[in-house]
């Protein structure tokens, strides 16, 4: 396994891959890898085959964090990540520096952004106003640097995957986007690098996100008629905030293709929610 730290070196390697016609599967991450990430790596390997290359980027991208968010304390452990990648059969880790990714030179500082203006408005986009601009910009950069044939994203960030797919369609990136299912702990908590923040009893309370989804799923399946989103939302807020450290940020019911909110909730509708457990903001989602 090779570790590439500079943008220029990664682009040279990508160019060589292009010329030999090798298929490249790409998994962009912010590092602090868990089993969910590794399932994306396995999916990438299946997609490109033994003769293909699997590249993982490890980069905590500053532009997708808000000024009051956890950029500086986001967990990092490159040594551990590198070992996990090697064991998972990754060919290349791309781990650039902020200076290289957001370079300024004599002509001036970084000033180009990619924005998606429709799917990125609600939910995470409403709670974190500059988040998706940071995501689409860095993903466009990473795509141009790694030049993969296929990139794999996790379904835990459902809206992010939708926004990235839309960007790829609109800007004609010659890249296939695959979305792999959420990986969960045995008690149902969706895997996330941020779960590391959950000290003591907070870890137990965090299960309330998946429990809340299961509660709606049961209600939807028990009723032959659609349920009102407003009533479900009120019920879920009460259910979630019974946990002493839990505060609901949002819960949304929406069309899984367009992300358009729906008021009548039935099978096939998608649910997504964000909940603060103490100071840690967690998200989860599922098709009902």
- Residues at the interface with a second copy (CB under 8 A): 7, 11, 14-15, 18-19, 21, 103, 105-119, 136-137, 140-141, 144-145, 147, 166-167, 169-174, 257-258
- Quote the radius of gyration of the chain (alpha carbons, Å): 20
Which of 34, 37, 131, 270 is flagged as catalytic? 37
Pairs from 125-131 (Cβ < 8 Å, separation ≥ 24): 125/159, 126/250, 127/249, 127/250, 127/274, 128/66, 128/69, 129/66, 130/63, 130/64, 130/66, 131/64, 131/65, 131/66
Smallest distance, a second copy to C-beta of residue 105, A: 8
Residue closer to a second copy by CB (options 169, 267) is: 169
Closer residue to a second copy, CB minimum distance, 35 or 103: 103
Compute the least distance from the CB of residue 100 to a second copy, in Å. 10
What is the per-residue DSSP string for 12-78? HHHHHHHHHT--EEEEEE-SS--HHHHHHHHHHHHHH-TTSEEEEEE---GGGS-TTSSTTTS---H
User: For residues 154 and 179, what is the distance between their CA atoms, to the nearest angstrom?
Assistant: 5
CA within 13 Å, CB half, 276? 9
State the Cα–Cα distance between residues 222 and 217, nearest whole angstrom.
Answer: 9
Pick 46 or 169: Cβ nearer a second copy: 169
Q: How far is the CB of 115 from a second copy (least distance, A)?
A: 6
* Smallest separation (angstroms) from a second copy to the CB of 56: 18
Q: How many residues does the chain have?
A: 288
Nearer to a second copy, 102 or 276 (CB): 102
Closest CB to a second copy among 169 and 287? 169
Query: Would residue 34 show up in a list of annotated catalytic residues for this protein?
Result: no
d(CA 71, CA 26): 23
Rounded-to-integer distance, Cα 86 and Cα 88, Å: 5
Smallest distance, a second copy to C-beta of residue 141, A:
5
CB 192 within 8 A of CB 281: no
The residues assigned a catalytic role are: 37
């Amino acid at each position: 396994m090779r570790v590439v730290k500079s943008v220029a070196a990664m682009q040279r390697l990508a160019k060589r891959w292009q010329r030999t016609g090798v298929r490249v599967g790409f998994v962009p991450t912010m590092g602090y890898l868990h089993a969910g990430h590794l399932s994306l790596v396995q999916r990438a390997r299946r997609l490109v085959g033994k003769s293909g290359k699997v590249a993982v980027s490890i980069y905590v991208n500053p532009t997708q964090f808000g000024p009051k968010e956890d950029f500086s304390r986001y967990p990092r452990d490159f040594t551990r990540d590198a070992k996990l990648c090697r064991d998972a059969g990754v060919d290349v880790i791309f781990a650039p520096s902020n200076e290289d990714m957001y370079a300024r030179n004599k002509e001036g500082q970084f000033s180009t952004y990619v924005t998606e203006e429709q799917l990125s408005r609600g939910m995470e986009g409403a709670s974190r106003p500059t988040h998706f601009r940071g995501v689409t910009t860095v993903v466009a950069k990473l795509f141009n640097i790694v030049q993969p044939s296929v990139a794999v994203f996790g379904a835990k960030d459902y809206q992010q995957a939708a926004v990235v797919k839309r960007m790829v369609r609109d800007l004609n990136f010659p890249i296939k986007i695959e979305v792999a299912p959420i990986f969960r702990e045995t008690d149902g908590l969706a895997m996330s690098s941020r779960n590391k923040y959950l000290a003591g009893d907070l870890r137990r309370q965090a299960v309330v996100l998946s429990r809340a989804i299961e509660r709606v799923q049961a209600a939807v399946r028990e009723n032959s008629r659609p349920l009102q989103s407003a009533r479900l939302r009120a019920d879920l807020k009460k259910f979630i905030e019974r946990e002493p450290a839990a505060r609901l940020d949002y819960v949304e019911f929406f069309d899984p293709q367009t992300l358009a909110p729906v008021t009548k909730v039935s099978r096939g509708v998608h649910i997504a929610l964000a909940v603060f457990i103490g100071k840690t903001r967690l998200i989860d989602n599922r098709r009902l």
